[in-house]
Amino acid sequence: MIKHCKNTKKATKYCIFVSVMNKYLLNIISNSCVAKDVFRMELTGEIPALKCGSFVEIAVEGCYLRRPISVCASCEGHLTLVYKIVGEGTRKMSELSYGQKVDLIGGLGNGFSLSPLPAHPLLIGGGIGTAPLLQLATDLRAAGSTPLLLAGFNSASDIFLEKEFTDLCAQVIFTTLDGSRGIQGMVTEVLSSLHFDYFYACGPMPMLKAVSTAIPHPGQLSLEERMGCGFGICMGCSIQTAGGPKRICKEGPVFRKEELLW
């Protein structure tokens, strides 16, 4: 999940850029709680299918900056967002209901690439970072690949999208820190027992660093970071990479393993 930056200064350029982005006004057909503090919002309207790993920015009443949320699943005319309540903006989002409209821009960012197509990729999710891996799993299966999911959560009450991933993946493995579901511990403790030729990961930075260091195979990682504008103007989410400074919201959020400097 992409995080919103609370302390970014207001900028005129932000308003100008928002006015020329791909804006959509979508209808809410459902917005329900699917896990502890986690909500699934289903939207419909005139919107193209969005790339896996990209994100949208949602206008929230009373909040100056939009809230960036990763695409969970998308097809033409329909969008699924899974998000966690982490502040005032996402709390207000959780209170929206059927029939209300959502103003959003997207898809933003550089998403996951399926080229070259791996035969047996491992998808690694950490908490709410598991959400954008659903569209990736869908696209991999459609392309003829057989994905495996490894997802880590704090406890059983935090797990979501289990049925959806089970329908798409050859195997679904959960880890929980408290041992209430699946394997007790962190995802890194399971890696050595799995067989795969490529990996995709999304989750907290410490987890991404750990899996990137532990896995010898190539892969792609979707970084979680606080954002201001969401499309490269404010430079607030810049990181240093092997190819120089890059913006997580623009050149990312997905980067190849070899690009990242830990």
State the pLDDT at residue 15: 46
CA distance 225 to 228: 10
Domains observed in the chain: 3-108 (2.40.30.10)
- Check whether 1 has a pLDDT greater than 70: no
Residue 14: both structure tokens together: 């932000």
* Mean pLDDT calculated for residue range 23-46: 97
Residue 69 near residue 43, CB atoms below 8 Å? no
Residue 137 near residue 145, CB atoms below 8 Å? no
pLDDT digits over 153-179, tens only?
A: 999 999 999 999 999 999 999 999 999
Global pTM value = 0.91
State the pLDDT at residue 224: 81
* Cβ atoms < 10 Å from Cβ of 82: 24
* Mean pLDDT calculated for residue range 16-26: 69
Question: Mean pLDDT over all residues of the chain?
Answer: 91
Residue 29: both structure tokens together: 């057909």
- Check whether 4 has a pLDDT greater than 80: no
* Mean pLDDT calculated for residue range 74-92: 97
* Cβ atoms < 10 Å from Cβ of 101: 13
DSSP letters for the chain: -PEE-TTPPP-HHHHHHHHHS-EEEEEEEEEEEEETTEEEEEEESS-PPPPTT-EEEE--TT-SSPEEEE--EEETTEEEEEEE--SHHHHHHHT--TT-EEEEEEEESB-----SPPSSEEEEEEGGGGTTHHHHHHHHHHTT---EEEEEESSGGG---HHHHHHH-SEEEEEETTSSSSEES-GGGTGGG---SEEEEEE-HHHHHHHHHH--S-EEEEEP-EESSSSSSS-TTEEEETTEEEETTTT-BEEEGGGB--
State the pLDDT at residue 237: 87
State the pLDDT at residue 229: 81
State the pLDDT at residue 119: 95
pLDDT digits over 185-236, tens only?
A: 999 999 999 999 999 999 999 999 999 999 999 999 999 877 778 878 888 8
